[in-house]
Amino acid sequence: MKRLRFRYEMHLKLDQAVWDHHFLIRCRPMESARQQKEHLSVKIEPADFIWEVKDGFGNEGYAGSAKRPHNSLLAVSEGVVRVDITKTSEPLHPMYRFSSAYTMPGEGIRRFLGEACLEQGREGGFWGRNVGEKELMYMMDRLYGRFVYSPGATTVETTAEEALALGRGVCQDYAHIFISLCRLAGIPARYVAGLMLGEGVSHAWVEAWTDGGWLGMDPTNNRLAGDGYIKLTHGRDFRDGSIDRGRFMGFSGQSQEIFVKVEEII
Amino acid sequence: MRDMVEHMEGINRLMARYGVKFGIYKNREFHEQLFPFDPLPRVIGRDEFLYLEKGLAQRVDALNCFLADVYGEKKIVKDGVIPEDFIFSSKGYLPQCEGMVPPKQVYSHISGIDLVQAKDGDWYILEDNLRIPSGASYPMIARELTRQASPRTFMKNHVADNRNYAGMLKEVMNHVNTGGINVVLTPGRYNAAFFEHSYLAERSGAILAMPQDLYVENNRLYYRQYQGKQLQVGTVYRRISDEYLDPLCFEPGSLIGVPGIMDVYRSGNVALVNAPGNGVADDKGIYYFVPQMVKYYLGEEAILKNAPTYLAFYEQDRKYILEHLGRLVVKDVSEAGGYGVVFGRDLEKEKLEELKRTIIGDARRFIAQEVIDFIDLDIVEGDGSVPRKADLRAFVLCGKETKIWPSGLTRFSRNPDSFVVNSSQGGGFKDTWVLSQ
């Protein structure tokens, strides 16, 4: 068990004033058996109204609007969370068995999985139901060995298949490829967005369904997503789990800065 | 009813003036064309309609139960009646709608059920349309104009009045309304069915709204009047498809959506007609299971039959499909509007083999059906008439009760060799008379 103090800051900078801005910001740690909030404070500016929302995946967040012209949007969420297991016993929803837009397997992912099966002496192809942590760890390790962390190589629109072909990408791509491999092997998997111990930006990892529970796995770092990980959202892929979304009126370029800090309270 | 023929030209001219048009997208271009009206109506006898009414209400009731189950408890999957592949990997299944319960628990407020009558007189369901089925406005306005042109015809024949559709629609909108006005939300002037949107809004007393007229504030939906006054909205009969409805929930690049509308809907602060996510129940793959749904949810035998259908997903069915492909019609479950439909008999040997390989490679995607030899209806051509294939889209409205509109859209193919009657494929339409005695 770990007690974590976190801070999430999102700063949207607009070079021209915009108006009628509607946004959805899910910067709120998910409440579950895995993690509980001890304390939370959220500030979103500017906003005429802010209300709490929850979606079909179980993600919670804040929706709001800012009518008058403004040049930036700032969201800050901070608090203390207790995280205590890698695994959660939440029920499995069948949607996580099937491919989604960003995780549709192509030739490359099929080949990757086929080779992994061969190396494990399971040339029969897919592993089926009796796949456990050991096989998943093997697959994650294999991906880690063949994929290079390289910001800027991919965009938010890159699919798992495309990223694998490029051989490089960021946490979102690691997660998409790993999810695609899991589902192809018959293991339900989902995309998780959240915060990780340390300083930097928000992070993405995977939960795979094994032995009747969701196992948090971080393919970008080739390790289990343990007590140092705070979950914000989950879904079939990046799009379901995006932390910020919005739409405004006006002609403006935009840039987004995210700052995350998570430290353990001992 | 032959006396209508002499008015044909005049009526078509009036329709052109009223803007009764149908838009088609082809090669990325938008073309608007008149939806040709044929004056000879399809006539359905009173008893026959009573039978159809019972069957259609039963079918739509079961489909509504199915939708509540899919986005709720999922009992039909747990009980092994429908394999989960056909639900959760369907394009029409929207996980964003999980756990949502629409106002008054109605999912498919307006259902367009397509039927054909075989030569032996039996009716078969071809397709269910539970998203935003269009077409009711065409027979409405056709009836109005033919009544004006030839009032005597309607004195001699006892035809059920179909001009009450707008009233039925209004009843449904009022029934689910969460407090506020009713609006019809149209993506705008360049939508294929814009004529219908404006006509139905006007007739049902709802406000015709463009996406920019609606906005969300504090988890409520408002309509912006031109004076700047805001009115709360209680029901949106939205003629925008699910994926473009809310850029914060679905397609992020949508410019025709209303940001935040899905959260308002989830909170029970507005009714969306029809409910988002209905596509999971009118998928061509799910069609196969509808008779089983009727039994499962209602404990009854389905009154109306499906066309005999085979699911490539099941090994036994697949074997049958591959052996009899030459006389079956194959449909891609992810396509709509008459696209992705292939008749085995039209294919050269080589193409047939290619289709077999495609089916084997992606079995979940295909269904095959026996070709129903459905009846021809006469249409006017020159001084005489010629027989053409025609189907019927029946409109089922669910408010407090499930009601069938005593009319419907009869579409016909203008091509003598074609069985495909979709308006997007260039067909025409007829009025549908239901006799009241």
> How high is the pLDDT of residue A127?
59
Q: Do A216 and A185 share a domain, yes or no?
A: yes
Q: Do A15 and A44 share a domain, yes or no?
A: yes
CB-CB under 8 Å, A57 with B98: yes
Q: Is the dihedral of CA B155, B436, B391, B378 positive or negative?
A: negative
Least confident of A70-79, B67-76, B291-300, B374-383: B374-383
Residues from chain A that touch B216, judged by Cβ atoms under 8 A, are 22, 63, 65
The CA-based angle B387-B388-B390, given to 5 degrees, is 130
Distance CA B23, CA B196 (A): 11
Distance CA B72, CA A7 (A): 35
Count Cβ atoms below 10 Å from residue B354 Cβ, excluding itself.
12
- Mean pLDDT confidence for B356-379: 91
CB A220 within 8 A of CB A174: yes
Q: Which amino acid type is present at position A159?
A: T
B326 pLDDT above the threshold of 80: yes
CB-CB under 8 Å, B84 with A22: no
Distance CA B280, CA B71 (A): 10
As a whole number, the mean pLDDT across chain B is 91
In degrees and rounded to multiples of 5, residue B279 shows phi and psi of: -55, -20
Q: Which amino acid type is present at position A55?
A: D
CB B223 within 8 A of CB B214: yes
The CA-based angle B25-B30-B31, given to 5 degrees, is 95
For chain A, how far is it from start to end, CA to CA, in angstroms? 11
Contacts A–B by Cβ distance under 8 A: 73
> How high is the pLDDT of residue B374?
87
Residues from chain A that touch B93, judged by Cβ atoms under 8 A, are 95
The DSSP letter of residue B363 is: G
CB-CB under 8 Å, A94 with B74: yes
- Out of B77, B97, B215, name the one closest to residue A56 (CB): B97
Interface of B with A (CB under 8 A): 74, 77, 84-85, 87-89, 93-100, 215-219, 247-249, 252, 259-260, 263, 266-267
Q: Do A78 and A105 share a domain, yes or no?
A: no
- Out of A23, A51, A245, name the one closest to residue B219 (CB): A51
B1 pLDDT above the threshold of 70: no
Q: What is the 3-state secondary structure (H, E, C) of A49-109?
A: EEEEEECCCCCEEEEEEECCCEEEEEEEEEEEEEECCCEECCCCCHHHHCCCHHHCCCHHH
Distance CA B59, CA B293 (A): 9
Domain count, chain A: 2
The more confidently predicted of residues A189 and B227 is: A189
Residue in chain A nearest B264 by alpha carbon: A53
Q: Which amino acid type is present at position B218?
A: N
Residues from chain B that touch A93, judged by Cβ atoms under 8 A, are 95, 98
Element of type H or E holding A178: helix A171-184
- Mean pLDDT confidence for B27-45: 80
pLDDT band at B106, cuts 50/70/90? very high
With CA atoms as reference, report the closest residue to B406 among B431, B433, B386.
B433
Element of type H or E holding B368: strand B366-370
Count Cβ atoms below 10 Å from residue B251 Cβ, excluding itself.
16
- In this structure, what CATH number is given to the domain that contains residue A181? 3.10.620.30
- Out of B77, B85, B259, name the one closest to residue A247 (CB): B259
Q: Do A137 and A251 share a domain, yes or no?
A: no
Residue showing tokens 């739509």: B60
pLDDT band at B204, cuts 50/70/90? very high
CB-CB under 8 Å, A53 with B266: yes
Please check whether residue A254 touches B, CB under 8 A. no
The CA-based angle A81-A84-A87, given to 5 degrees, is 125
- Out of B87, B215, B248, name the one closest to residue A24 (CB): B248
CB B59 within 8 A of CB B302: yes
Closest approach of A85 to chain B, Cα-based (Å) = 26
Residues from chain A that touch B77, judged by Cβ atoms under 8 A, are 94
The DSSP letter of residue B62 is: H
> How high is the pLDDT of residue B420?
65
Ranges of beta strands (E only) in B375-418 are: 376-381, 384-398, 402-404, 409-412
Q: Do A17 and A56 share a domain, yes or no?
A: yes
CB-CB under 8 Å, B95 with A240: yes
Q: Do A210 and A104 share a domain, yes or no?
A: yes
pLDDT band at B86, cuts 50/70/90? very high
Q: Rg of chain A's alpha carbons, rounded to an integer?
A: 19
B25 pLDDT above the threshold of 60: no
A149 pLDDT above the threshold of 60: yes
With CA atoms as reference, report the closest residue to B236 among B140, B163, B165, B172.
B172
pLDDT band at B28, cuts 50/70/90? low
Count Cβ atoms below 10 Å from residue B286 Cβ, excluding itself.
24
CB-CB under 8 Å, B89 with A53: no
Domains assigned to chain B: 2-286+374-434 (no CATH), 308-370 (3.30.1490.270)
Residues from chain A that touch B215, judged by Cβ atoms under 8 A, are 20, 22, 65
- Mean pLDDT confidence for B13-37: 70
For this complex, say whether ipTM is above 0.85. yes
B425 pLDDT above the threshold of 90: no
| No. of helices (H) and no. of strands (E), chain B | 14, 21
Q: Do A20 and A47 share a domain, yes or no?
A: yes
- Mean pLDDT confidence for B398-413: 95
Distance CA B2, CA B7 (A): 10
With CA atoms as reference, report the closest residue to A218 among A195, A241, A242.
A195
B166 pLDDT above the threshold of 90: yes
B33 pLDDT above the threshold of 80: no
In degrees and rounded to multiples of 5, residue B347 shows phi and psi of: -100, 140
Task: List A residues 83-142 in contact with B (Cβ-Cβ < 8 A).
Answer: 93-95, 97-99
Distances (CA, A) of B223 to B196, B200, B215, B216, B226: 21, 18, 7, 9, 10
Q: Do A101 and A43 share a domain, yes or no?
A: no
> How high is the pLDDT of residue A43?
97
Q: Is the dihedral of CA B61, B258, B91, A130 positive or negative?
A: negative
As a whole number, the mean pLDDT across chain A is 93
The CA-based angle B26-B30-B32, given to 5 degrees, is 105
> How high is the pLDDT of residue B148?
87
CB B222 within 8 A of CB B232: yes
Please check whether residue A236 touches B, CB under 8 A. yes
> How high is the pLDDT of residue B409?
95
With CA atoms as reference, report the closest residue to A207 among A180, A171, A185, A234.
A234
Q: Is the dihedral of CA B231, B232, B234, B235 positive or negative?
A: positive
Structure tokens at A41: 């404070």
> How high is the pLDDT of residue B426?
65
Closest approach of A180 to chain B, Cα-based (Å) = 14
* Cis peptide preceding B274, ω within 30 of 0: yes
Closest approach of A103 to chain B, Cα-based (Å) = 13
Residues from chain B that touch A24, judged by Cβ atoms under 8 A, are 248, 260, 263
Q: Which range marks the domain in which residue A126 is found?
A: 87-235
B145 pLDDT above the threshold of 80: yes
Q: What's the whole-model pTM score?
A: 0.93
- Mean pLDDT confidence for B127-131: 94
Closest approach of B363 to chain A, Cα-based (Å) = 15
- Out of A22, A56, A94, name the one closest to residue B216 (CB): A22
Closest approach of A72 to chain B, Cα-based (Å) = 19
pLDDT band at A118, cuts 50/70/90? confident
- In this structure, what CATH number is given to the domain that contains residue A53? 2.60.40.2250
Residue in chain B nearest A53 by alpha carbon: B263
CB A29 within 8 A of CB A231: yes
Residues from chain B that touch A51, judged by Cβ atoms under 8 A, are 218-219, 263
CB-CB under 8 Å, A93 with B98: yes
> How high is the pLDDT of residue B213?
95
Closest approach of A264 to chain B, Cα-based (Å) = 33
Least confident of A123-137, B77-91, B221-235, B257-271: A123-137
Length of chain B: 437
> How high is the pLDDT of residue A116?
87
Distance CA A251, CA A19 (A): 10
Q: Do A230 and A248 share a domain, yes or no?
A: no
Residues from chain B that touch A23, judged by Cβ atoms under 8 A, are 248
The CA-based angle A131-A136-A142, given to 5 degrees, is 135
CB-CB under 8 Å, B77 with A246: no
CB-CB under 8 Å, A239 with B252: yes
> How high is the pLDDT of residue B14?
82
Q: Do A117 and A37 share a domain, yes or no?
A: no
pLDDT band at B16, cuts 50/70/90? confident
Interface test with B, best of A20, A21, A22 (most B CBs within 10 A): A22
Measured torsion, CA atoms of residues B96, B97, B103, B104, in degrees rounded to the nearest 10: -170
With CA atoms as reference, report the closest residue to B160 among B177, B176, B139, B178.
B139
Decide: helix, strand or coil at residue B112: strand
B5 pLDDT above the threshold of 60: yes
Q: Do A37 and A18 share a domain, yes or no?
A: yes
* Cis peptide preceding A46, ω within 30 of 0: yes
The percentage of chain B sitting over the pLDDT mark of 90, rounded to a whole number, equals 70
> How high is the pLDDT of residue B338?
66
> How high is the pLDDT of residue B190?
79
Count Cβ atoms below 10 Å from residue B25 Cβ, excluding itself.
11
CB-CB under 8 Å, B88 with A98: yes
CB B285 within 8 A of CB B367: yes
Which residues are CB-contacts of B390 (< 8 A; sequence separation ≥ 6)? B42, B116, B374, B375, B376, B377, B410, B411, B412, B413, B421, B430
Q: Do A248 and A221 share a domain, yes or no?
A: no
Structure tokens at A7: 């801070």
